[in-house]
Chains A and B, each alone.
Chain A
Amino acid sequence: MIGIHSAILVALVACGFMCLYRIGRGPSAPDRVMAIDILGTLIVAFTALLGLVTGHDWYLSIALAWALLSFIAAIALAKYLEGRAFDE
């Protein structure tokens, strides 16, 4: 079981590097914002798997908080790109 899980963790890290490529390369600002959002979702999956492997349930608390913050950041940056305030 440990072998499968470490292979999956390595695959998720590879996904994270693809997102980092898009964040660095991305021709426009929405590209970068989107890649940051996707990276946050990947980190949620990674953290949940770490929680399963190690057996500590507080890893899932980190995942929940990260999902929340990444959602708020994506909405705020989208509104900023649109040229409007957060409460419009």
Chain B
Amino acid sequence: MNETIGAVLIGVGVAFDVLGCLGLVRLPDVYNRLQAATKCVTLGTCLILIGVAISAGGASAALTIKSLLCACFIVLTSPVGAHALARGAYRSGVRLCDGSVTDDYAGSETLARYRAGMDAAAADRAREHYDAETETT
């Protein structure tokens, strides 16, 4: 029984991993790839680790405890790393793909730079952005 539940969880986890990696290969820009790959692979790996814990069951307590610990660690750290990477990519100037519709982060970034007094030209861009936004809403 435990073996069956574990095998099902591992199979579903591998399916998520494969789909996430397909997204990593196929999607057009770094932000799309990041959101596809990170979410799918995090969930898939967690399902595999939980499946390993259930399959090992009574046979090996060390295997169960370590794999559950590993699953907790992946759940906590993987989104943090992905968020830091997305922010790093944006601030290092990676562009959005051509099909992108909106970039809500742009205005807040230029405004933050203007407030910090770092960039005088950013002030004009921020004002333009916010004027355009208040006109549309």
Using CB atoms and an 8 Å cutoff, list the residues of chain A in contact with chain B. 1, 4, 8, 11-12, 14-15, 18-19, 21-22, 28-31, 33-35, 37-38, 41-42, 44-45, 48-49, 51-52, 55, 57, 60-61, 63-64, 67-68, 70-71, 74-75, 77-83
Contact = CB atoms under 8 A, between A and B. Distances in A.
A14 B85 contact: no
Contacts of B55: 52
Chain B, interface size: which category? Answer: 35 or more
B34 interface: yes
B48 A45 contact: yes
A75 B77 CA distance: 10
B99 to A, nearest CB: 16
A34 B52 contact: no
B89 A15 contact: no
Given A75-B80, A78-B85, A81-B88, A64 B73 contact: yes
12 contacts: A18-B24, A34-B34, A37-B78, A38-B24, A41-B42, A42-B41, A55-B60, A64-B66, A70-B81, A77-B85, A82-B87, A82-B92
